[in-house]
Amino acid sequence: MRVDGENLRVEDVIKVARYGERVEIDEGVRERVEKSRNIVEKILREKKPIYGVNTGFGELANIRIENDRVKELQENLIRSHSCGTGEALNEEVVRAIMLLRLNSLAKGFSGVRYELMEKIAEALNKKFYPYVPSQGSVGASGDLIQLAHVALSLMGEGEAFHEGKRMASLKAMKKIGMKPIHLQAKEGIALINGTQFMTAVLCLSYYDAVNLIKNAQVAGAMSLEALKGTRQAFREEIAKARPYKGQIRVARNLWRLCEGSKIMESHRNCQKVQDAYSLRCMPQVFGAMYEALDFIHHILEVEINSATDNPLIFDGEVISGGNFHGEPVAIAMDMLNIVLTKISSFSERRIARMLDEKLSELPPFLAKEAGLNSGMMILQYTAASLTSENKSMSYPASVDSIPTSANQEDYQSMGSIGARKCMQILENAEKVVAIEYIVASQALDFIKMDSSPAIESVRKIIRKNVKKLEGDRAMYEDIERVFQMLHNGEIIREVEKKIGKME
């Protein structure tokens, strides 16, 4: 995959971060990077003050640094900012951070040497995995602490992982045949000013959220079949009467998912007029989520191809600005957390409905010999717990701010807080939908008719991994198996064999 600073896509980030695709720097990058580097060196020779190059940082910006100490200044910057705490970020997040930082530098506004970019590309291609704590960023001046830990490892200081073991960075480098980089003027600040931690998490989580919302629609259609609902609420004329693009997409998906259902055909002329909101309003609710996801995608496509450090170099001029501020990403992250929480909440309502004999007309808790067996009663407890946890975490992080650097940096985005929450909210939501798959499969086993071909294919693949519940058993492993099938896209691939690509 070629990095050129202009054309990176979310899908490219996934390929490199999650699947280890090699990166190359586009041929056109070197000229513009070296041009801006020459400007930095010219200004240094002239001994003009440049923020963060030959001055202190933040509130210390008025302190001048002599040219013979600017290299020391850059390395001290990295060391002083490497003070994160909390659990280490997983490898795919760290790889995404490095790729996004590389792409930002490739725009040629940062004043770094081309060799620095080559070192980041080498680190990605040799699977160098810096130790990066997850806590510490306030999301303005960028994700300073996480990016500093990446830079510290590239300097051969700090720590890194190799084959699952945490060790000194220099030791890990020796094992993969890599040498540390020695930072020059401007390069320390160019490495740590930016939104790459929160943007990396948003890229990965957005990609997984798109997969999740497809699964949530499939599970919802499955629940609709189990509850003997109708697909008439998914008719195209209803969606076009309120023509949100997301609603129209979902209505089409659900209509195709239910196509050919013998269960629905059997109660075409029943007395029920309409279904509960968690069934009937799936186009409206999921559709609104798609509208939000489209906005998030727009933010990502801009952010991952932006120069986000400070100062930036333009035609011989060095200009201080604020592109490092994470506000666009922070707001998008909070929106994603809300969407993911709503997916889990929506799914939990259908789970509860299938397990309630008064609403489902199915055996209580889908148990055989109810009373002796509790059936799937406690699966709903788990779904309720995960959903409640999501609700408690989905309050927007970006509405908060605590000033830093003696009030020089007096308004923060806190997007990194939203990013940390997002990783857990996403996993919780995936597990709630996995539980809906398990419950809906069990419910359909009590109905002696075939559901639609698409839903039957899902039930078959789930039954390969989760046996029908004949009597009470521990089900924690069942949840984990279906969660993995959902997360890796296996279920959606099976569905799309039957109905074509979901919109």
Cα distance between residue 99 and residue 33, in whole Å: 17
Q: What angle do CA 30, 200, 213 make, to 5 degrees?
A: 130
Is 51 an annotated catalytic residue? yes
Cα distance between residue 143 and residue 146, in whole Å: 6
| Phi, then psi, of 314 in degrees rounded to 5 | -135, 115
| Phi, then psi, of 433 in degrees rounded to 5 | -65, -35
CA dihedral 168, 174, 179, 180 (to 10 degrees): 0
Burial profile 59-97: b = 16 or more Cβ within 10 angstroms, e = fewer: eeeeeebeeeebeebbbebbeebbebeeebbebbbbbbb
Cα distance between residue 113 and residue 37, in whole Å: 6
Locate 447 and state its tokens. 């109905």
Q: Are strands 165-168 and 159-162 parallel, antiparallel or unpaired?
A: antiparallel
Q: Which of 51, 244, 395, 411 is catalytic?
A: 51
Map residue 410 onto helix, strand or coil: coil
Cα distance between residue 336 and residue 329, in whole Å: 10
3-state SS record for 196-218: HHHHHHHHHHHHHHHHHHHHHHH
Residue whose entry in the numeric block shows the structure tokens 């067996």: 373
**Cis ω before 283 (30° cut-off from 0):** no
Catalytic residue numbers?
Answer: 51
